[in-house]
Structure 1
Amino acid sequence: MATKITADQIRHIYHHFKANQVHPGKWPAENPVELMLGAILVQNTTWTNVQKTLNNLRPVTGFDAEKILALSTEELQELIRPSGFFKNKSKAIQSSLQWFQDQNWDFDAIATRYGHHLRNELLKLHGVGQETADVYLVFIFHQVHFVADAYARRLFGYLTGTEFKTYQDLRKVVEIPDDFTAQDAEDLHGYIDDFGKLHKKPEDFDQSIFGGFDL
C-alpha cells in the first residue's frame, strides 16, 4: 500500500491535466437539489440511468425540494426507479432534502455551525456514504476535499502500482495541497472523471497523457 500521495504529487497531476485537457468536466446540475439527487442516484448504477431518473423528476418537481418532499414515498420511488435500489435511495433523498430544508438551505450557516464536524454530520444522513459526503462538501459547500471515487482509484492505481480497493484506501493516503482552492478541487474531480470515462484498461492509460508519466 502506498504510504501517501503527497501534495506536490497531487499538484503535479492537476497541472498535467490542465496542460493537456481543454477544460474539466462539470457536475451536470442546475441547482444544489439536482446535484444532491445525482450524487445519491448514481450510487451503484450508471449516469445513463441517473439521467433517465432526472428526466422523470424534472417536469414533476422542477428540482424544488418542497415539491420532492411533498411526494408520497411511493410516488418518489416510481419516479426514481430507473436508477435502481429505489427504496433505499428514496429514503436517502428524503433524508438529505429534509436535513437541508430544516436548516433553510443556508450552506454558509451550516458550515459555520458544524465546522470540522460537517463531514461526520453528513455521514449520519441515511444513504450518505463517504463518496456522497465528499461530493456534497466539494460541490455544495465549495470546500477543498478529494473525491476518491472509482475513476480516481483506477487512475492512482495505475500511477502508483497500488490497488486501492475501497474509497478509504485512497482517501486516507492523499494529501491535498494547502494552496488548493475550492475550484481546484472541483476541477480535479472533473478532470479525473472525464479521463476515467475514456481510459479503463492499462493499455488505455499507456496510450494516454499519463503514459510514461513520472509521478
Structure 2
Amino acid sequence: MLTTEELYQLLYHHMGPQYWWPADSKIEIIIGAILVQNTNWRNAEYAIERLQQETNLDPQRISELPLELLQEYIRSSGFYKNKGRAIHGIFQWLEMYDYNYEVIKSKFGDSLRKQLLSLRGIGEETADVLLVYIFEEIEFIPDSYTRRIYQKLGYKDTNTYSQLKRQIRLPGYFTNQDANEFHALLDNFGKNYFNVKSDRRYTFLDEYFIE
C-alpha cells in the first residue's frame, strides 16, 4: 500500500505542478469554494462569471446585494439559496477583520478551523480549502475524489470526509505549497480517472490499485 508521501511523489512526478486554485484573488477562491459545493466546477464557474459581471467580485458590493439578488446571480451553482446565505455570512465575518487574513489567522490560531466550521454553510471540506488556499495552512483535504483514490489503494474507512481525515497525516516536511499541490493533484487525477466511462487508459497508479 502506498504511503501518503509516496502517493504525493508519484502524482507530482507524473503530473507536475497544477497551478490550482484557478482564481485571480482570494475573494474569488472563497466564493468558488462555496459555490462548488455539491456541484461540478463548470456550474460554479458560470456563477462566478455572473458575479464578476455584476459586482466585479468586490466583497463590499457582494455583501450589500439583497440576498434574493445574490441568490439569483449564483443560481447555476445549485443549492443557491443556502450558498447565497453562506457567502453573505462569511463576508460579514471577514469584514469584521477588514479582510485581513493574517490578523484572523493570528487571532484564532489553532482554533481557526473550528471558527470556520461555526460559520453558516461552511462544512469540513470548505473549511479545509479555506485553511490551505486563504490562510496558507497545511491541511489534508479528503474530498470525494481523494477518498475514492485512497479506497482504490486499499485504505479502509474512506466513506466519509472525517473518517479518512482522521487516518491521514501529511509528511512533516510539507509546506503550504505541498498541501496545495497534493490536493490539486489528487483532485485532477480523480477527475481524469473516474470520469472516463469506458476504455480507460492505463495510468501510473493502476499497479497500486486494488479491485
Q: Do they fold alike, i.e. is TM over 0.5?
A: yes
Alignment match of 1:42 (pick from 18, 36, 44): 36
- Cα deviation, 1:15-74, whole Å, max 9, x if unaligned, reads 111211132241111111111111111111111111110111001111110010111111
What is the DSSP-based 3-state SS (H/G/I as helix, E as strand, rest coil) of the residue aligned with 2:129? helix
Amino acid at match of 1:187: E
Partners of 1:163 and 1:206 in 2: CA distance: 28
What is the DSSP-based 3-state SS (H/G/I as helix, E as strand, rest coil) of the residue aligned with 1:199? helix
What is the DSSP-based 3-state SS (H/G/I as helix, E as strand, rest coil) of the residue aligned with 2:84? helix
TM-score, structure 1 normalization:
0.91
Partners of 1:34 and 1:23 in 2: CA distance: 21
Q: Which has the higher contact order (CA 8 A, sep 6+)?
A: 1
**Is the Cα contact below 8 Å between 1:96 and 1:125 reproduced in 2?**
yes
Alignment match of 1:104 (pick from 81, 87, 98): 98
Amino acid at match of 2:87: I
Amino acid at match of 1:105: Y
TM-score, structure 2 normalization:
0.93
RMSD: 2.2
1:154-173 equivalences in 2 (<5 Å): 154-162=148-156, 164-173=158-167
Task: Show structure 2 runs of 5+ residues with no match.
Answer: none
User: After the TM superposition, which parts of structure 1 deviate over 4 Å for at least 4 consecutive aligned residues?
Assistant: 201-206
What is the DSSP-based 3-state SS (H/G/I as helix, E as strand, rest coil) of the residue aligned with 2:74? helix
Amino acid at match of 1:53: A
Partners of 1:187 and 1:125 in 2: CA distance: 26
Does the alignment pair 1:80 with 2:64? no
**Is the Cα contact below 8 Å between 1:61 and 1:67 reproduced in 2?**
yes
Task: Show structure 1 runs of 5+ residues with no match.
Answer: none
What is the DSSP-based 3-state SS (H/G/I as helix, E as strand, rest coil) of the residue aligned with 2:206? coil
What is the DSSP-based 3-state SS (H/G/I as helix, E as strand, rest coil) of the residue aligned with 1:207? coil
Aligned length: 209
Identity over the aligned pairs, expressed in percent?
A: 36
- Cα deviation, 1:90-141, whole Å, max 9, x if unaligned, reads 1100011111111111111111111110000000000000000000000001
Partners of 1:161 and 1:145 in 2: CA distance: 19
**Is the Cα contact below 8 Å between 2:157 and 2:164 reproduced in 1?**
no
What is the DSSP-based 3-state SS (H/G/I as helix, E as strand, rest coil) of the residue aligned with 1:172? helix
Distance 1:66 1:46, change over 3 A: same
Counterpart in 2 of 1:61? Answer: 55
CA deviation after TM superposition for structure 1 residue 205, in Å: 8.3
Partners of 1:24 and 1:162 in 2: CA distance: 28
Counterpart in 1 of 2:204? Answer: 209
